[in-house]
Amino acid sequence: MTGAGLVAWLAALPTGAMFSVFLTEVTAGLVKRFDGTRESQALGRTIVLMPAHDEAAGIERTIAEVLPRLPDGAQLLIVADNCCDNTAALARAAHCAVIERHDPAHRGKGYALAFGRDHLCANPPDCVIVLDADCVPEPKALALLAAEATRTGKPAQACYLMQPNRIASPMVQISNFAFLIKNLVRQRGASALGAPALLTGTGMAFPWAIFKDAPLASGNIVEDLALGVDLSRAGHAPRFLEQARVWSVAASEGDTLTQRTRWEHGFVATARSHGLPLALEGLRRGRWPLFWLGLHLLVPPLALLFMAGTVVLTMLLLLMLAGAGFGPALLLFSMMAASGLAILLAWRGFGRAMIAPGALLRLPLYALWKIPVYLKLVRGAETNWVRTKRPEE
């Protein structure tokens, strides 16, 4: 093998492996499975914990939609966190229990959740469901989550999606579709493969026995992802509950890009610190769920994955001119093409309401739209928690 050939294989194999993991999850996620969800189990006492930071513009609407959807006997507890507006007063006027936290030195949802947990310790519930203040659950979602967490003794993660909006800008539509690939299709696939669910920050149900000791008080900008990793390592792997849907309204194009910057920078930072160690730990301890979770974390976000694949494929084509052979380029091209086909099948099966065909054709432009996100990542990952502006603001 020539030196050029060795370099080509060293570039093609890890890149192809990332596409292989992605393709495996999406393909598994496309397979229809039996719905074994149990709704009839008697529930213990459930608290829906809602952190809210300056949510005055929308908190009344959220409360009005959530209250009728609470499981029997459940209560909604609002944590008005470092608010500079009248979020707390509006929530109290809507007949909700409210606690307030003021600690500007410690900003972020993790601190708000820890504050809420401390409040609950005096009279702990059986189950805690975390729900963001800009999210609305489907009618049975909260009851399904509480029943699953109570039945299994493990955390349960709802299917968190953006509401379809085919009149939004093409970039927002594509971003919402990429969100669906991550939070529905790949979560379905990982679940079918026996891997843990990724915690997505909202629609998360925890048995109190787990919630009371969970490492919550953190400024991590993707505290939910890190929490899921910690719980999986401790033997409390979260379970994906597709039938429990939680919806949020997508932000504007500019705010969507800001939101994706925070999410993707946090994901990449978590992947760097946990991905390979988790995979190796899973192999060493014979724990398949940990192994696959590590592999999942090693797959970058969708746009970055295909951008990286395109760059490496271009390099492989140039190395062919230096005698590397066509094998590495053929391998990577095949994996990228198969992954692209899987995405089209996912759109056909799940995403047609989410994104118009015309917007789907602009996928290459979406990658270009995301370039500022990745340039910022090269200069230094976003580490500060930034609240996403709500559509009604």
The answer to whether residues 298 and 18 touch, using CB atoms and an 8 Å cutoff, is yes
The pLDDT assigned to 135 comes to 94
Q: Would you give the DSSP letter of residue 67?
A: G
Query: What distances in angstroms separate CA 317 from CA 274, 331, 333, 389, one per listed residue?
Result: 32, 12, 10, 43
Extract the tokens encoding 363. 């996928």
Nearby residues of 284 by Cβ (< 8 Å), 6 or more positions away: none
Phi then psi for 157, rounded to 5 degrees?
Answer: -115, 125
Query: DSSP per residue over 144-174, as a string?
Result: HHHHHHHHHSS-EEEEEEEPP-TTS-HHHHH
Each domain of the chain, given as residue ranges in start order, spans 3-31+274-379, 46-175+196-252
CATH 3.40.50.1980 fits 46-175+196-252, yes or no: no
Nearest to 108 by CA among 82, 86, 132, 130: 82
Q: Which residues pair with 102 in a beta bridge?
A: none
* Surface-to-core class of residue 243, CB atoms within 10 Å of its CB (0-12 exposed, 13-18 middle, 19+ buried): middle
**In sequence order, which residues have a C-beta less than 8 Å from that of residue 289 and are 6 or more positions away?**
194, 195, 196, 232, 237, 282
Amino acid identity for residue 215 in this structure: P
Please give the structure tokens belonging to residue 222: 């993707």
3-state SS, residue 79? strand
Q: How many CB atoms lie within 10 A of CB 309?
A: 22
DSSP 8-state secondary structure symbol assigned to residue 69: G
Look up the pTM and report it. 0.90
Query: Beta 75-81 vs 135-137: how paired, if at all?
Result: unpaired
Per the document, the length of the chain is 393
In sequence order, what DSSP letters do the residues of 82-137 get, joined into one string? S-SSSHHHHHHHTT-EEEEE--TTS-SHHHHHHHHHHHHTTS--SEEEE--TTEEE
CA distance 191 to 186: 8
Ranges of the chain with pLDDT below 50: 393
Distances (CA, A) of 11 to 22, 88, 286: 18, 54, 28
Q: Is the dihedral of CA 227, 232, 236, 239 positive or negative?
A: positive
Which residues are registered as beta bridge partners of 77? Answer: 49, 97
Per residue in 239-253, pLDDT (tens digit) is 999 999 999 988 777
**What's the token pair of residue 224?**
């939910």
Please give the structure tokens belonging to residue 77. Answer: 């507890």
Report the greatest alpha carbon distance in the chain.
Answer: 74
Joined together, the tokens standing for residue 95 give 């007949």
The one-character DSSP state at 205 is E
Other beta carbons within 10 angstroms of residue 239's beta carbon come to: 17
Structure tokens at 292: 């696959």
